[in-house]
Structures are given as C-alpha cells and as structure tokens.
C-alpha cells in the first residue's frame, strides 16, 4: 500500500496546532479499531464451531477465513481517521476544568457553631 502524503499546513488550519490534530486523529483511530474488533468478535461468535474433540489442529474453518479476509481488506483505522479529519467530520472539545472553591477560613468555624 503506497504512502499518502498529507500537507501539515492543513492541520494548522483545522486545530490550534499540528500536535493537537494528530492526537485527536490518533484517538479517533483507536476508537475505530475498537469498533472493528467488537464487530469481528461478534461475527466470529455467530459461526458455529466444532467441538474440541472433533476439531483437528490444522483444520481451518472456511467461514471464519472468509470473515478474516473481509476484515483485512478494509481500510486501516488510521486512514479512516485521517479521512474524517480531512472531511471536517472529526470534531473534538476540551474537558472543562472543575474549579474547587475552598471555604473561607473565617466562615467555616462560625457555620459549624451555628449548626450545633
């Protein structure tokens, strides 16, 4: 499979910097990979397998082989994630930092005395 060059200036236009876009793309690639794993495992489970006593070590299940070949022909998760980024369908947002408000030193003892 040939390499696909990507203009890094596009990353600067899409996000704040190149590294931000690369991290977002890699996280999306991991998500896609997990989805593919789940789908593959579900389809393999549907295939009825032989019991261990009937199966031989070199025996290959043709249905499972077809499914494996089908999944190998699919585009790689990184390529799919890059396509999503280039199509502007990949978005991300930052987690908001929670601000912890510390109680004032003067108010804390008085409130405890009033409650008792």
What was the pLDDT predicted at 51?
40
**19 three-class SS:** helix
Estimate to the nearest angstrom the gap between the alpha carbon of 113 and the chain centroid: 52
CA distance 104 to 116: 19
pLDDT tens-digit profile of 38-92?
A: 999 888 888 755 544 455 555 677 888 888 899 999 999 999 998 888 888 888 7
**Residue 11 CB coordination number (10 Å):** 19
Q: For residue 15, what are its two tokens?
A: 């996000």
Answer whether 0.75 is exceeded by the pTM: no
What was the pLDDT predicted at 31?
95
Q: Please say whether the beta carbons of 78 and 4 come within 8 A.
A: no
């Amino acid at each position: 499979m040939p390499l696909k060059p990507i203009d890094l200036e596009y990353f600067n236009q899409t996000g704040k910097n190149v590294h931000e876009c690369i991290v977002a793309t890699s996280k999306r690639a991991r998500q896609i990979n997990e989805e593919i794993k789940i789908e593959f495992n579900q389809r393999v489970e549907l295939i009825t397998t032989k019991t261990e006593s009937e199966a031989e070590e070199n025996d290959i299940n043709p249905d499972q082989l077809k499914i494996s070949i089908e999944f190998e022909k699919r585009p790689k998760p990184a390529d799919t994630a890059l396509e999503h980024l280039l199509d502007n369908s990949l978005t991300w947002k930052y987690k908001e930092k929670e601000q912890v408000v510390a109680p004032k030193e003067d108010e804390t003892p008085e409130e405890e005395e009033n409650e008792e």
